[in-house]
Amino acid sequence: MTQELSFQKFIEQSNLQEELKYDFNENAELRHTETQQPFVFNYYKNVLKRNSKRYQALGHLLEQYIYELLEKVCKLQKVHIPPEADEEQRSFFFMSERALTNHHSALLVLLQDHGVFGAGQWSQQAIIHHGLQHGSQIPCIQMALQAHHDVIVLNPNDNFMNLNMAKKWNSLLTQNIESSSPKMAQTESFFSLQHPPQCFPKRYSNTPEEHMAYIWDYFISKTEGKDVAFIVHGYGGLVFMDLLVRRKWEVMSKVYAVALIDSEHHVGHQLGSDVQLLAWVKHHCREWVTSPKPLDKPAASVLKNQFPMVSAGTEKYHLAPSSSLQSIFKYLQKALKAKTTINFSRMPIVTRSSTKKKQSA
C-alpha cells in the first residue's frame, strides 16, 4: 500500500521535512528516511511542549494520509454528512462503492475507539510505533473486500470543527510565506501559534453515539435484505450498545454478528434487564480481550448474561485489533454461514399435499 502513495510527500507539502524525516518502508513501518530508525518523540531535547506539537503535527499528517489510502488503495468513497450542511459543520465517513446497493454481499461496519485519530485508524500509537498493518484498519478492509463484503468505515471522533486549527493547517499546507527561510517560517507559524480553540459541534456528529445513529438511520438501515456485521474497539463497544438500545428491533433483525475488542460497554447499565436484548447479545456477540493467554483461549466473564469472551493474543491494548483480526474474520464467516443456513432451513418446503391444499382453498 505504501508503494502506491508516499507518506513523505505529505510531509514535504507541509514543509515539515526537517522535523519529520519519516516515511513508511516496504513493511509499512514508519522509519527515519536517513537512519531507518523508529520514530523518536524527544526531537527537541527535553522540550515537552514543542515535542508534543511535533507529535500532533505527525498525527494530523497521518490522518490525512490514511484518508488518501482509504480512497486510492481501498477504493472507498468519502461521504459527507449531512449533505445539506455547510462544509465546516459536516462530518464524513467512508464506504465501498456498492455498500448500499449490492444486496448479495454482507456489510462490515468498523467502529473505532475514542481518541484524537480519524477514520481508518484503530490506534495512532500503533501506527507510529508498529506500522500500518497494526494500527490502521486497512488490512481489515482489504480482507473484507477480498471476501466480497462491502465496508463502511465510521468516523466517530470527528465531532468538532476547530477553526483556529483549520486556519493553522491551511496556512501550513498552502501558504507561501516570503522569508529567507520559507520552510522555517511556516514551521514556526505552526509550532508557536497560540490561540484559544474555537470549537463548533458538527451536525449529527456531536458525539460518537450521534454519528453512529445518523449513519444507521440514513445509510445502513436503508440496505434491504443485507446482512450486517460490526467490528468495534474500546469505546466503540459502548457506542454500539447505545445504538442497539435506541434502534432495538432494526439492529436485532439486520445485524448477524458483532466482534468486540476490549470493549468499554456495560451490559447492566446500558441494556438493563431487557430479556430480549440480553438474549440477543449473548447469541450474536463475542469479545476479544487483552490477555497473557494465547489467542482464542476462553477468558472469564465477570457478568452474567454476558457473551463469550476470548483472548486477543496480546496484553497490549493498542495491538489487540491486529492481533485478533484473523480470529475475528473466522468468527464472522462462521456466523454468516450459520445465519444463511438458518434462513434456508426456515423456508417452507413445497410438497404435493401442500400444493393441493392451496389449490383447493
Say if 197 falls within a structural domain. Answer: no
Contact criterion met (CB below 8 Å) for 107 and 154: no
- For position 81, which CATH number holds? 3.40.50.1820
Say if 67 falls within a structural domain. Answer: no
H/E stretch holding 257 reads strand 255-261
Of the given ranges (101-105, 112-116, 318-322), which has the lowest mean pLDDT?
101-105
Question: What pLDDT, in 10s, does the model give residues 141-156?
Answer: 999 999 999 999 999 9
Question: What pLDDT, in 10s, does the model give residues 32-43?
Answer: 999 999 999 988
- pLDDT level of residue 343 (50, 70, 90 thresholds): low
Contact criterion met (CB below 8 Å) for 96 and 105: no
Say if 143 falls within a structural domain. Answer: yes
**Dist CA 161 CA 154 (whole Å):** 17
Instruction: Return the pLDDT at 243.
Output: 97
Q: What pTM value is reported for the model?
A: 0.85
Instruction: Return the pLDDT at 158.
Output: 93
Percent of the chain scoring above 70 in pLDDT? 81
Q: Which residue has the cell 522569508?
A: 179
- pLDDT level of residue 111 (50, 70, 90 thresholds): very high
Instruction: Return the pLDDT at 8.
Output: 86
Instruction: Return the pLDDT at 13.
Output: 81
Query: How many domains in the chain?
Result: 1
Say if 32 falls within a structural domain. Answer: no
Q: Is the pLDDT of residue 357 over 90?
A: no
Instruction: Return the pLDDT at 181.
Output: 37
Domain extent at residue 312: 74-159+202-345
Say if 315 falls within a structural domain. Answer: yes
Contact criterion met (CB below 8 Å) for 287 and 300: no
Say if 28 falls within a structural domain. Answer: no
Say if 256 falls within a structural domain. Answer: yes
**Which residues neighbour 307 within 8 Å (Cβ) at sequence distance 6 or greater?**
281, 282, 283, 284, 285, 286, 287, 301
Question: What pLDDT, in 10s, does the model give residues 66-79?
Answer: 999 999 999 999 99
Say if 257 falls within a structural domain. Answer: yes
Of the given ranges (204-218, 224-238, 328-342), which has the lowest mean pLDDT?
328-342
Instruction: Return the pLDDT at 341.
Output: 64
Percent of the chain scoring above 90 in pLDDT? 61
Question: What pLDDT, in 10s, does the model give residues 288-329?
Answer: 999 999 999 998 766 545 889 999 999 999 999 999 999 999
